[in-house]
Structures are given as structure tokens and as C-alpha cells.
Chains A and B, each alone.
Chain A
């Protein structure tokens, strides 16, 4: 199970990086969203995937689930959700003000 999840996270990262390298703003944002999904899946996988065990840490319990990765993912999901929505608004305004959503044309030059 861990192997499949790792490969899935890898695929998400690949697709994310591919989209990140495009010129169109919306594609870039989709790229960052895919990368953050990949990262979140990855955290979950790194905490080992188990079902049916309670998250209890005690010295005489051998079989338990690790609650920490879930707490980490939850924090990270909230953050990336916030940043993505901010980025969408920002991209909308930036493309309206500058008249283009092509990153190649948004390089800027010396005197402004």
C-alpha cells in the first residue's frame, strides 16, 4: 500500500512540476495545487498506513496508529488552501491590470 501511495505522490509531483513550468497563470496555479496534494499524500504515507488501530501510545500496546501525520496534514491542507485561493485572486487581478496572463510577457524591465 505504501508503495502505491508513494508512486501516486510521485505522479502528482510530476504533473505539478509540468504544469508549474507552463506560461499560463491558471496552469501554474493548478501545478502548485497538485504539488501540495502530492506533499500531503506523502506525509500520510510516511506515517505508515494502518487501519483499525486506535491512536494510543502506551508501553503495553503494540499495534497503534500514528496520529501525528494527520495533524500535520490538516495544518498543511488549511495553509495550502488559503494560499491557493489567495493566488487565484491575485492572478485574476494581475492578469486584468497587466492585460495578459502569459508569464513570458510579465518579466518586467529595468525602469519601472
Chain B
């Protein structure tokens, strides 16, 4: 009975989304409904996380089909931590949405797509079955296709074509890779795949399949050289939708990499994990240069997704407990801060009337709180103490040092500086300078935009200042990932 808990984070948003479609035109009701349901879901998820923390993983064998035969849902510490973070981001976005979206966009099923997206993301984190992971990828992608064209502007339609095509192609590659894997190991249950790959010591064909899977998840997570599709489609839709995409979608890709390459393909690390380090280095360099290359403030933030993914890949590549803890910590940190930044630049672009940095100046005179919030989030992003970015990067670099990877540590620190430069440039040029008299300040709108961001930054600060409280749990997740036999045993129960 208690094992049914594992399905709740998927089922609640799914049902909520379907019901929201029934009264999509009654905006007042649907807004409150969506906010309440999001809060309830977050409460449930927080309870499950607490339960898992106390009693160990909750495993649901759906339809009572025994583990390797049926689909299993695995709510362990890693997946539940990420689901909770997803829901925290969701709360900020749902309270930001009414200010940011036009009436037409809200009426055209924004709340339905939003809940389906949350459901898909949570499902991808929780599932313990590789094919089911593909299905949840499709659920969240379908919702994201709906969200990206919401409004139907020229730019959106143009960019969404590319977005849908690249995702469709990588999904088909995913299915093909699963077919390969099935023909070799004869199962799609992740625990059993891991067991069987371990039995045959990961022969050449399995390493090839591993690299293929890396390309699939690399496309979704936006790694070098597969990130070129990411920045433009992400800035085309409304800021609140960009925030959901930037905070959640690429992170599902990096989570899948973390899961697959800590559990299944761990026997040929000289090939796979060595390769990741170099890919991570290139991702860091090209992502941070990309962020410096543009004057469009939304594009700056969208480019900043890429080096963050590079950082997380470093933790997977170095393959030690500290590296994994760093990746998990950074994942949580990055989901929150990317959402905050997208919401902030959305607010700036809305209040200043343009997203071209050359045309924005002196905003701090009109909106002091907005300015300081942006300043703090720039520091969080770049990793300046005492905020969460600092702790995440510190642990990752510790992991890299333990594995004697000095070069990647230097590249990481260097790109942190470039990241700081890219976002502080927005602060210096956009907020400082002469007062722009042509703008009539809209304080009410600004307050509605800022509160959700304050909420997110609160978590960022807590995560940084209170690192002592959170770190032991994160460290135990790192140890758990280093010992995949725990995961395998908990599911197959032999």
C-alpha cells in the first residue's frame, strides 16, 4: 500500500492537468485551482522525500508484475530530491504566470500543459525502466511542444519547428538504442540491465550502446557539440515557459546520464568517462563564450544553461563519490537559479519594453528591488560564497581534484569567471547609468514579478548558507550512486 506513494508525484499533476482543461476559459478559477494543486503536490512530494529519507527507497511494481517483468517506479533519495526541486520551481512559475502570460495564452490550456510537463518530468525522475523513461520523455516533450507554440507568433512557430525536429530525431535514436540494448541483454529494467552488463563485464558492443545513449541524452541535455539547437527555441516563448524549460528539461537529460552512467555502463570508464571529461570541458568553454557573444538578455541566460550542464558532466566523468554529490548538489542549485534568472530577465524585458541590452539603462532608479535580486542571482549563478553555486562548484572541484583532474578544474574556474562577466554585464549596463525618463514605472507589475523570484532565491540562499544541513544527505546520495548494487538489490530483491 505504501509503495503506491511512488506514483503520486506523477498521478496528481496528470489528473490536475486533465481537469484544468475542463474549465480553461474561467481564468480566475483555473488560476487558483492550479496554484492550490501545485502546493498540494509539493506537500505530498515533500512528505514522500521525508518518508524515503527515514525508511529507504519506495519501490512500486506497477500492476503487481514482479520487478524485472513489469514497470517499476523507484522513489529513492536522488529522484525524490529532484522531484521536490521541480515542484519548488513549479510553485514560482505558477504564481508568476498570471502577470506574464496574455489572457489568450492562459485560456489556451497553459495550465493543462504545465501540469502535464510537471508530470512528465517527475515520471522521468522516478521511473526505473529504460523504455518507460522514453515514454516519460515523450510526455514532457509533448507538453513542451504545446507550450513553446503557445501564442502562435512568427518567431515561436519558426523556432519550434527546429525544437520539435531535433527532439523527435533524438527520441527515435533513443528507441533504436533501446532496441540494441534489448537484443544484447534481453531486458529494459534498469536494475536488471545493470546486473547483466556487470555479469558480462561490459563487452565492446555494450560500450558502443553506452556511447549511443550518451548522444541521445547529450542532445536532450545540450552538451557540446549537440547544444546548438537550445538557445533560440528557449527564448521564443513567454518567460515563464522559458523558465520551466530552462530549469527542468535539460536537467532531465543530465539526470538520465547520471543514472545510466553510475548504474549501468561503469565497467569501461577509460573509454566512456574519460570521454565525458573532454566533452564537459568543451561544453564549459563554448557555452560561456556563447553567453558573452550576444546583447539579447534572454539569450545570455539561455546560453548560461550550457556551461551549467558542463559542470554537472564533470561530476559524472570523474566518477567518485564526491563528484556525484557535487553533480546532485549542482543539479538542485541549477534548477532553482535558472528558473529565477529566466523569470528575472522576463520581468526586465517586460518592464523595459525590450530585451536588447543596448537599449536598457538605469533601471535601478525605477525598480531597486528587481535590481538587487538580479545582482544576487548573478552571484549565485557564478558561484560566489555564501550562495548555493559556490558550494556546488566547490564539491565538484573537490571531486575533480580527488581524481587528479587539474585541467578540468582550471577550465571550470575560468568559465565561472566568464559566466559572472556575462550576467554582471546585464546588471552594469541595464541597471546602472542615467535614469531613463521615458519609462513610467509600473510598480504593481514589478511586485508580481519579483515575489516568485524572491521565493526561489530564498531557497538558493538557504541551500548555500545551510549547506552544513543539506550536505550529509547529498553526500549519502553520492555514496549510493557509487554503489549501484544497493539500487539493484532493492529492486530485484535477491
Contacts and interface: CB of A to CB of B under 8 A. Distances in A.
A91 interface: yes
Interface string B293-330: 01110000000000000000000000000000000000
Nearest to A72: B131
Given A86-B145, A108-B155, A39 B169 contact: no
Interface in B120-177: 131, 134-135, 138, 142, 145, 149, 152-155, 157-161, 164-165, 168-169, 171-172, 175-176
Give the contact-size bracket for chain B.
Answer: 35 or more
Given A39-B179, A75-B131, A110-B296, A91 B161 contact: yes
A83 B182 contact: no
B172 A35 contact: yes
B55 interface: no
Given A69-B182, A108-B159, A86 B164 contact: yes
B402 interface: no
Contacts of B155: 108, 112
A47 interface: yes
SS class, residues of chain B in contact with chain A: helix
A90 B149 contact: yes
Among B145, B152, B154, B179, residue most surrounded by chain A Cβ atoms (within 10 Å): B179
B169 A43 contact: no
A46 B188 contact: no
Give the contact-size bracket for chain A.
Answer: 35 or more
Contacts of B152: 93, 97
B296 A39 contact: no
Contacts of B153: 97
Contact of B169 (A35, A46, A110, A112): A35
Given A93-B152, A97-B154, A108-B155, A68 B180 contact: no
Contacts of A90: 145, 149, 157, 160-161, 164
Contact of B138 (A79, A91, A103, A112): A79
A52 interface: no
A87 interface: yes
Nearest to B294: A110
B249 to A, nearest CB: 16
A25 B161 contact: yes
A20 B162 CA distance: 12
A90 B160 CA distance: 8
B161 A46 contact: no
B430 to A, nearest CB: 17
B232 interface: yes
B183 interface: yes
A102 B286 CA distance: 29
A94 B153 CA distance: 9
A90 B131 CA distance: 27
Contacts of B134: 76
Nearest to A46: B183
Contact of A106 (B135, B142, B161, B356): B161
A39 B172 contact: yes
B335 interface: no
Contacts of A46: 179-180, 182-183
A55 to B, nearest CB: 12
A43 B161 contact: no
A108 B232 contact: yes
Contacts of A72: 131, 175, 178-179, 182, 188
Interface in A72-112: 72, 75-76, 79-80, 82-83, 86-87, 90-91, 93-94, 97-98, 103, 106, 108, 110-112
A51 to B, nearest CB: 19
A79 B169 contact: no
Contacts of A38: 176
A32 B165 contact: yes
B168 A87 contact: yes
A43 B160 contact: no
Nearest to B182: A46
B168 A32 contact: yes
Contacts of B135: 75, 79
Nearest to B355: A111
Contact of A94 (B161, B183, B232, B296): B161
A94 B158 contact: yes
Given A75-B135, A111-B296, A42 B164 contact: no
A39 B176 contact: yes
A76 B175 contact: yes
Given A35-B169, A43-B182, A69-B182, A83 B157 contact: no
A28 interface: yes
18 contacts: A25-B161, A40-B175, A43-B176, A75-B135, A79-B135, A79-B138, A80-B168, A82-B142, A83-B142, A83-B171, A93-B149, A93-B157, A97-B152, A97-B157, A97-B158, A98-B157, A98-B158, A106-B158
Given A36-B168, A98-B157, 4 more contacts: A39-B175, A76-B175, A87-B165, A98-B158
